[in-house]
Amino acid sequence: MLSRNIRLLSRRYSQAVTFRTTESSPYLADGEKGAGKSLTLAHLLHFAHEDGFLIVHIPWVSDWLRRLPRDKEMSNSQSREGFVDIPLDAAAWLLHFKMQNQVLLKTGDLKTSKEYVWSKRESTPAGAPLAELVEHGIARVKYACDVIDVLLKEIKLLSNAKKCKTFVAIDGFNSFFYPLTRLSTPTKKKVAPEEVSLTAPFMEITKNDWTNGAIVVTTDQLAVPEDRQENYLPKYLLYQKGFEHLDPFVPMEIGRYTEREFLSCASYYRDRLWLRGPPELESELKLASACNPYNFMELCAPL
C-alpha cells in the first residue's frame, strides 16, 4: 500500500538476482521499528513471483515461537528425540506455501529424489511431484513438520540441479536465536528454539551452500520480548550464533523516508482521500513523525 522508492527496490532485487552465480549470500534487511522492512520484503516477493521464482516465505517467525501458549498445540516430535513439534502451524505454512507456488507446483518439473516412508501404510515414492508431498503434509497434520524438513531439502537439491530458482524470504529471523520461546514440552518444560523441529529446516535453507536462489531475511526488534529490544542492529539481535550462521551476508539498511519518498507517500494518501488539508501540513507531519513510515501512518489516521 505504501510506495517506497521503486528504483531502490529494483536495484536491490537485481543484485539479488545477479548475485547467485556461485553461492548465494543472504541479504539482511535491518532497520528501526516501523522503517518498512516487512513491506520491502512484500515488494521483493512480488517481483520474485512475477519472475517465476519458487517462493519459500515465512510471514512472521514469532507467530510460531512466541504466540500465547494457551492457543498452541505442541507435541513431542516422533522422528527426533527431545524435539517439540507445532503441527497446526506447520500445516498452515504448507497451505501458505501451496497457495504462493500454485503455478510452479502444477506445471513445473519438480520431483522428489528419494522415497520417504511416513508410517507402515503411508509413503511417498521417489519421483513423486512436490505437490503430492505438500498435500500429504496438509492432510496428515501429524507429519507436517517432517514434511517441511523433507520439502526444504528437496528444494535445495532441485535448485542445485537448476530445475527451479528459489526465493527464500523470512521476516523476523532473529526470533530463531532468542534463548527461550513461549512453547513448552507436554511436561511443561520451557523450550529453546533449537529444540523446535521447525527451526532446523529453515536454518538449513539459509546457509550459503546452495546455488540458483536468493535469500532475504529481516531482523526485527519486535520479534523478541521487550528485554532484548534496546537496539535494532543485526549483531545485537542475532546473537553470536545467528551472526555466524548468516555470515557473510549483505546488509540492507532500511532507513526512514527521504524527502522524495515522504512526498510521494503523502501525495498517495491525498490521492486515496485519506489525508486532506492545506499543504503546510506536510512539513508539520514530517517533523512530528520524524519521517518514520509507521509514525507517519499513525499520525495521518485521524486527520
Chain residues binding other proteins by CB under 8 A are 272-274, 276-278, 280-281, 284, 301-303
Rounded to whole angstroms, the Cα distance separating 52 from 98 reads 14
Strands (E), the chain: 27-30, 54-58, 75-76, 84-85, 116-117, 123-124, 166-170, 213-218, 250-253
Q: Which whole-number Å values give the CA distances from 97 to 47, 57, 90, 101, 244, in the listed order?
A: 17, 7, 10, 6, 28
Tell me the closest approach of the beta carbon of residue 284 to other proteins, in angstroms. 6
Q: Which whole-number Å values give the CA distances from 160 to 49, 163, 183, 268, in the listed order?
A: 20, 8, 35, 42
Tell me the closest approach of the beta carbon of residue 274 to other proteins, in angstroms. 7
Of 95 and 299, the one with the shorter C-beta distance to other proteins is 299
Tell me the closest approach of the beta carbon of residue 59 to other proteins, in angstroms. 24
Provide the grid cell at 227.
Answer: 528485554
Tell me the closest approach of the beta carbon of residue 296 to other proteins, in angstroms. 14
Contact between 242 and 20 under an 8 Å Cβ cutoff? The reply is no
Estimate the crossing angle of helix 280-289 against helix 293-300, to 10 degrees: 130
Tell me the closest approach of the beta carbon of residue 167 to other proteins, in angstroms. 34
Q: DSSP class of residue 7?
A: H
Computed from CA positions of residues 220, 222, 228, 231, in that sequence, does the dihedral angle turn out positive or negative?
Answer: positive
Contact between 112 and 130 under an 8 Å Cβ cutoff? The reply is yes
Of 99 and 287, the one with the shorter C-beta distance to other proteins is 287
Of 141 and 266, the one with the shorter C-beta distance to other proteins is 266
Of 186 and 279, the one with the shorter C-beta distance to other proteins is 279
Tell me the closest approach of the beta carbon of residue 288 to other proteins, in angstroms. 9
Count of CB atoms situated within 10 Å of the CB of 27? 22
Tell me the closest approach of the beta carbon of residue 103 to other proteins, in angstroms. 31
Tell me the closest approach of the beta carbon of residue 290 to other proteins, in angstroms. 16
Of 109 and 284, the one with the shorter C-beta distance to other proteins is 284
Grid cell 521483493 in the structure block, residue: 44
Of 211 and 295, the one with the shorter C-beta distance to other proteins is 295
Of 248 and 279, the one with the shorter C-beta distance to other proteins is 279
Contact between 31 and 253 under an 8 Å Cβ cutoff? The reply is yes
Rounded to whole angstroms, the Cα distance separating 232 from 229 reads 7
Of 189 and 272, the one with the shorter C-beta distance to other proteins is 272
